[in-house]
Amino acid sequence: MLEHCAHARYVWNLAVEQHAHRRKDKAHYRPDGRQYGAPGFAEQCHQLTEARRENAWLGAGNADVQQQALKDFAKAKNAKFTSGFGEPTWRRKYRHEGFRVIGTDRVPEFESDGSPKLNAKGKQVMGRSVVIHKLNRRWAQVKVPGCGWVRFRLTRTELPDAKTFRITFRNNQWHIAFAVIPDPIAAPATGEVIGIDRGVTITAALSDGRKLNCPQLTTKERARIRKHQRRAARAPKGSEHKTAEYAKAARLKARETNRRKDWCEKTSTMLARTCGLVRFEKLNIKNMTASAKGTVEQPGRQVRQKAGLNRAILAQGWGLLRQRTEHKAPGRVEDVPAPYTSLRCSACGWIEKNSRKSQAEFVCVSCGFTCNADTNASRNVAVGQGGIPRPRRQAGTGGVTAATGRSSAREPQPTPVGIPLV
Ligand SMILES: [Zn+2]
């Protein structure tokens, strides 16, 4: 299977190179200034056949696996504006190991109304299907070309009805994923609207007062990671010991990712099942986690602190939670503008910085409403109320907020304590 991974990666990277080369090379411009197109999927398949004939290593591999890599590339290329991943890029050994297998079984295809699907000549169209044998309640097996039957652990009660599946090798573990798009989860009859405020201290505060936390590594596990990293750092360069220690640290780190993913899946399913409409505050996580490093000429300040905060933000799985909720409840997820959601009083609508006493405490200076700061923010999100972009000039109930630019309504900023950094 590692050989399949190598072939798939090699073919993918060739495709990347072809497209990158065609984009840059001036020689590929026609006299009228238009660009010659990079080879499409069909042309690449012909080229692959030629390459397999000339290259013994590639020829020894499975043609379907290699062709599916090209198909994956074509799909990634077409979806570069919508997938969120952008232009397909290089795959690296040990990091992006995986390949797609197309099912060997042929089954008749049907139209959506149940009538058999016919081609132009009036013949039945046959589709591909994966053959899965269930061995017992826990285990099933699937046929992988060149490897025979491969067993895998069942994580669902029903067997998937898939045309293809993908095998990946991550963190020393083999994974199998069947390409099936499940039906969206139906909305509950109550039509409840829920707002979610995402934060670092509380991963997701819900407007009904629940506080959900994404599991992270325990202190002991973090200490173990540091231990292995320390041992690796002290081991002689290029030694087996060094590699082994780094591998141990990597395995522990993978645990955190697995936990986060698991939590996001479970939480998003819960949200899709119990809530009619889910509102998130709109966060630009990419901008929020931008490095503070700066340039050589203008180095940034508090780079280490910002890096730590970025790590904490990314460890919460904010983006994944929203994305998976959207997948499971399409059309029932909304984004609410984030500014001032944490400073607005959810009871009277007053926006003032002083209302937020600390990270956790919210006491409205106008009406005296007291609440957990994150719950207050999520209530604002639930009603779709970010706030006005600047403090209001007119007095509401309970006094005038100074209308000086941004001075009054800002998120609480950290106050420097202890030894000054500069
Ligand atoms: Zn209030």
Boundary (domain end) residue, out of 131, 166, 201 = 166
For residues 275 and 212, what is the distance between their CA atoms, to the nearest angstrom?
A: 15
Do 23 and 74 belong together in one domain? yes
Q: Is the dihedral of CA 11, 16, 18, 21 positive or negative?
A: negative
Boundary (domain end) residue, out of 61, 84, 99 = 99
Report the pLDDT value the prediction gives residue 35, as an integer from 0 to 100.
58
344 C-alpha to ligand 1 centroid (Å): 8
> Residue 291: inside a domain, yes or no?
yes
Name the residue type at position 311. Answer: R
Task: Tell me the mean pLDDT per 10 residues along the chain, length 422.
Answer: 94 90 64 68 90 92 92 91 86 92 82 79 82 91 91 89 91 90 85 86 88 90 95 94 93 91 92 90 78 74 78 80 90 84 82 81 85 88 65 43 46 53 46
397 C-alpha to ligand 1 centroid (Å): 9
Report the pLDDT value the prediction gives residue 419, as an integer from 0 to 100.
55
Number of domains in the chain: 3
Do 87 and 141 belong together in one domain? no
Do 92 and 152 belong together in one domain? no
| Domain region containing 89 | 2-99
Do 94 and 17 belong together in one domain? yes
Boundary (domain end) residue, out of 147, 166, 185 = 166
Do 77 and 117 belong together in one domain? no
Do 153 and 212 belong together in one domain? no
412 C-alpha to ligand 1 centroid (Å): 18
The position carrying tokens 């719950």 is: 375
Do 147 and 222 belong together in one domain? no
> Residue 407: inside a domain, yes or no?
no
Half-sphere exposure of 396 (CA within 13 A, CB side): 15
pTM of the shown model = 0.76
> Residue 151: inside a domain, yes or no?
yes
367 C-alpha to ligand 1 centroid (Å): 4
Q: Which residues contact 303 (CB under 8 A, 6 or more apart)?
A: 291, 292, 293, 294
Do 332 and 223 belong together in one domain? yes
387 C-alpha to ligand 1 centroid (Å): 13
205 touches 195 (CB < 8 A): no
197 touches 286 (CB < 8 A): no
Report the pLDDT value the prediction gives residue 30, as an integer from 0 to 100.
63
Do 303 and 323 belong together in one domain? yes
Look up residue 207 and give its two tokens.
Answer: 């407007």
What does the DSSP assignment read for 36-97?
PPPP-HHHHHHHHHHHHHH-HHHHTS-HHHHHHHHHHHHHHHHTTTTSSS-S-----TTTSE
> Residue 176: inside a domain, yes or no?
no
> Residue 44: inside a domain, yes or no?
yes
363 C-alpha to ligand 1 centroid (Å): 8
Report the pLDDT value the prediction gives residue 135, as an integer from 0 to 100.
92
Do 80 and 116 belong together in one domain? no
376 C-alpha to ligand 1 centroid (Å): 10
Report the pLDDT value the prediction gives residue 36, as an integer from 0 to 100.
64
415 C-alpha to ligand 1 centroid (Å): 25
Do 108 and 88 belong together in one domain? no
Do 219 and 265 belong together in one domain? yes
212 C-alpha to ligand 1 centroid (Å): 25
> Residue 61: inside a domain, yes or no?
yes
Report the pLDDT value the prediction gives residue 27, as an integer from 0 to 100.
60
In this structure, the number of other CB atoms found within 10 A of the CB of residue 295 comes to 7
373 C-alpha to ligand 1 centroid (Å): 12
> Residue 179: inside a domain, yes or no?
no
The candidate with the shortest Cα–Cα distance to 273, out of 192, 210, 354, is 192
> Residue 401: inside a domain, yes or no?
no
